[in-house]
Structure 1
């Protein structure tokens, strides 16, 4: 079954990525060094403990250049694997597979890196009742893929874009003339989900009075978060955001917030150490 993601053209992404790498002259190394009829068999494996994401997309890269390639995906997406785990086997035309190798690995390394960091944050709040959210702080053009990777790591997607919920932040409030007025306008526009960013306790009631359906508690320490959660008293979901790290997220989760959003999942996750090694012809 072909791999698909909503609102994302995997085939177009693969073609554009390969075109970027091939340029006008193509893979001059493989063309010069490898006989046209040479075969290649390789194993993709993880060198560190990793949460895997992106293998089906790697398969598309390989099959785009060698439709007859024999490809075996060995682990399911979202699986946590130990160092040395084989995750894919590939066999086919050597020139084609080696031309696709870097693009395939870049994708798997990036997405698995996001999934791995995400899993560490999810594990750190296990049992607290809080849900980890990602953000819109993504690499342009890769949002759908990166948010897919956070799901594979166990997070829940926040807004996919500007279209699926209103998020009223300080600049919106400044232009609109106040929190209550900004929220009132969003509600009057018929927007069902209205997230309002507050960074002070005294902003909570005005936001709720205007019709906020979700409060983002921005850059509040644990004491203020507990106070905010008590004041909201379950009327709307609460979300802690800002300067959340792996060291602090457990304490934040214990304040009773509904959600915790973390931008570094997609902004700062290091690439996973995954390679493709020659096995046999």
Structure 2
């Protein structure tokens, strides 16, 4: 009971001093302002995250909705923890806590963790930006260094791609320096056809136009009318004619094979020769000289 009385007496003595009352008042005001500012910062960050996730849905790259939500929550938690930590440190500073030793200890701990897990931290940070920036998505055909294939999984630490021959390549995200994405925009099929010098060029062009038109009607992979550009090159024994067709992403190989087969059939049907290497042998006969 005596201890409580002493505490009450101490409070009365100190709280009766104007400078102490003012210090407590302004300290409380500062703490309230710090807290409200932190809440406002988190609210603004949430609005920005919602806006970015909405813009992400309109991107040409389509990702799984669960992955998008996961990234949104990850960013929210990261910002929330950071703002709350700063807010707590500022409040502790207002109540007279010496933050120097605390920050020094946290810095040493963070430095030790950073040195011990440099590769892991690099993989995680790179994976975060790959997902956040929509560099590629599951199902896209991409090439990373010498590895080309279809993306099967994008993780925070590793990316898994499967090549067309069946091999699965697991690549740490920190090792990804440059990525070529073949699935973002339409691709272009380029077909070069060789005809002999004896062929009628005008007739060959008409046959090509009719053929590519028929191929366009047979497949949905071609998004625009194919174009016959004409004679592309004059070679030693043939003329090369070029046809181009804009296709859906990563379908140019299939379209080119289909066109090559159909063009060969139509050129044969119209009597237009496709040149090929020929060997002509001359046999010289000599009459024996009779004595």
Shorter-chain TM-score: which interval? Answer: under 0.3
Structure with the greater alpha carbon radius of gyration: 2
TM-score under structure 2 length normalisation: 0.22
Give the structure, 1 or 2, with the largest relative contact order (CA under 8 Å, sep 6 or more): 1
TM-score under structure 1 length normalisation: 0.23
Which structure: greater helix fraction? 2
